[in-house]
Amino acid sequence: MFRLWAKIFENNRMISDTCVMDESVDTRTHKVFRAIEKACNQFDLSVPVWLDKNIADFKRLSKTRFNQDNFIESVSFDYLEIQVIEED
């Protein structure tokens, strides 16, 4: 099972979160992108753009933060944090 935890922060406080599960037999990359898309749909957000910093953080920690620079439209929070909390 694969689980990704997505959290929205504003003023250093978590204001919303969701956990997305994926039980498919697919690559980790596909599972991550699918989970981010599902989380963003639940939060009514556009899917963020991955920058080099996000890729490096995610490879190293299985966690990264997306701020206003990662979104095409304006967002009303400080950042969206994603973290892989379970992998098979």
pLDDT of residue 40: 96
Per domain, the residue ranges of the chain are: 2-86
pLDDT of residue 88: 80
**Mean pLDDT per 10-residue run, the chain (88 residues)?**
96 96 92 96 96 96 96 95 92
State the SS3 of the chain: CEEEEEEEEECCEEEEEEEEEECCCCCHHHHHHHHHHHHHHHHCCCCCCCCHHHHHHHHHHCEEEECHHHCCCCCCCCEEEEEEEECC
What are the backbone dihedrals phi and psi of residue 52, each rounded to the nearest 5 degrees, phi first?
Answer: -55, -40
Q: What is each CA distance from 24 to 16, 27, 86, in whole angstroms? A: 26, 9, 14
pTM equals 0.91
pLDDT of residue 41: 96
